Structure 1
Amino acid sequence: MRKQPINPPQRYDGKPHGLSHAVVDTATGTVYISGQVDWDMNYQVSSHTVEGQLSKALTNLTIVLDAAGSSVENLLNLRIYVRGELGEFLEDIASELVKYLGESRSALTVIGVASLASKETLVEVEATAALK
């Protein structure tokens, strides 16, 4: 297997955290995207709501997909981690996903968790996609 790290300049530097934003398996054409959160270049969140952070995390996911040579239409699997009781946020999550995914329907798992990358982080989105 050959792997190609993807680290778009529009995203924060993952090196201090030991990560690339994505890795492409060039042998299979599969893109593995690290968990994307609502962090700017200084690791700060822009929103303090699940809906707002999910929107920004999905935007960041799009940036990484584009840099890898993929797209939302090529998403195979999407995993969303939400801090807290998941049932409280299902409507907000569904609303954002419909806007983001359009007609593309990947496999989806949404998981409620106790903690994420920082105290301010409420949502993390991880994905697997195919190349275009």
Structure 2
Amino acid sequence: MSHAVIDTASATVYISGQVDWDVNHQVSCHTVEGQLSNVLTNLKVVLDASGSSVENLLSLRIYVRGELGEFMGTIAPIIGQFLAESRPALTGIGVSSLASPETLVEIEATAALK
């Protein structure tokens, strides 16, 4: 498994679900806001390592444990600040389960290479 796969023919990077895990697969924060901030940091690391950037994001899929509408007021400003001028297609999905019982947020992404 990989954090990202680059399709050189289409100059596209496909990024697997990023979560707030340390090297021991433990979350470092226990709130949606805290995990979202850490997930976005992890996403930026993968984008940079793959030769892409936030500005080159094509789509984001944000999974939140629970009813998404309950968190929109909290997560929208964090996402807006992260994206800045970038305007990828964005889908938010409320789910009952993620990678671990403590995982509250997961983000998948697709981006163009620079």
TM interval, short-chain normalised: over 0.9
The root-mean-square deviation of aligned C-alpha atoms, in Å, is 0.5
User: What is the deviation of 1:131?
Assistant: 0.1
Give aligned-pair identity as a percent: 75
Segments of 5+ residues of structure 2 without an aligned counterpart are none
Q: Give the structure-2-normalised TM-score.
A: 0.98
Q: Give the structure-1-normalised TM-score.
A: 0.85
What amino acid is aligned across from residue 71 of structure 1 in structure 2?
S
Q: Which residue of 1 aligns with 2:14?
A: 32
Which stretches of structure 1, 4 residues or longer, exceed 4 Å deviation after superposition?
A: none
Return the alpha-carbon distance in structure 2 between the equivalents of residues 78 and 122 of structure 1: 16
Segments of 5+ residues of structure 1 without an aligned counterpart are 1-18
Task: String of CA shifts for 1:43-71, please: whole Å, max 9, x gaps.
Answer: 11111111110110010000000000000
Q: Which residue of 2 aligns with 1:8?
A: none
Q: Which residue of 1 aligns with 2:32?
A: 50
What amino acid is aligned across from residue 60 of structure 1 in structure 2?
N
Q: Which residue of 2 aligns with 1:97?
A: 79
Q: Which residue of 1 aligns with 2:88?
A: 106
- Structure showing greater relative contact order (alpha-carbon pairs closer than 8 Å, 6 or more residues apart): 2
